[in-house]
Amino acid sequence: MIQRKQTLYLLAALVLAIVCLSLPIGSVEPRGMGVSPSLYNLGLQDGNGGIGFKTLPLFVILLLTTPLTILAIFSYRKRKLQARLCDWCIVLCGAWYVCFAFYWLNELSLLGTFHIALPAFLPFVNIVLFALAHKGITDDEKLLKAADRIR
């Protein structure tokens, strides 16, 4: 199971999703005086530790990718299911960026200047990792079909 390259890609995507869930994905520089709040997947945390407005869809979308990735890792004998789970994870990461753009353009621009942090790019890296895993899964499927033809 671990020796397959797509499993390593899926494991890396799982770790990056958890890291993105726990780190701030940006900060808002207020127009006036004040402490710059940090944006997490769960909400905007101000300098006092309180949550300003909630960004629950960002959290839920990224949280849904983690069990799907775990399921994809452990369904290594069912390659078609594993490939479909990778496709769904790619769609969910794309939906995360749509929600992120919505919050950035609509709600965060009203508070001040928004600065993107490095963890905001981790779902894009996950998209690449899921695509590489999908390619590895389809390559395995082709290899098994070719071996069956030879028999």
- Calpha distance 150→23 (Å, rounded): 51
Distances (CA, A) of 20 to 2, 5, 56: 23, 23, 14
Consecutive H or E run containing 45: strand 43-45
For the entire predicted model, the pTM comes to 0.86
Q: Is the pLDDT of residue 116 over 80?
A: yes
SS (H, E, C) 72-122: HHHCCCCHHHHHHHHHHHHHHHHHHHHHHHHHHHHHHHHHEEEEECHHHHH
d(CA 108, CA 140): 45
What pLDDT is stored for residue 110 in this prediction?
66
**Percent over 70 (pLDDT), the chain:** 88
Helix, strand or coil for residue 49? coil
Can you tell me the distance from the alpha carbon of 114 to that of 104, in angstroms, rounded to the nearest whole number? 7
* CA-based radius of gyration for the chain: 19
In this predicted structure, what is the pLDDT of residue 20?
Answer: 93
Choice between 141 and 60, residue whose per-residue pLDDT is larger: 60
Q: Tell me if 66 sits within 8 A of 14, measured CB to CB.
A: yes
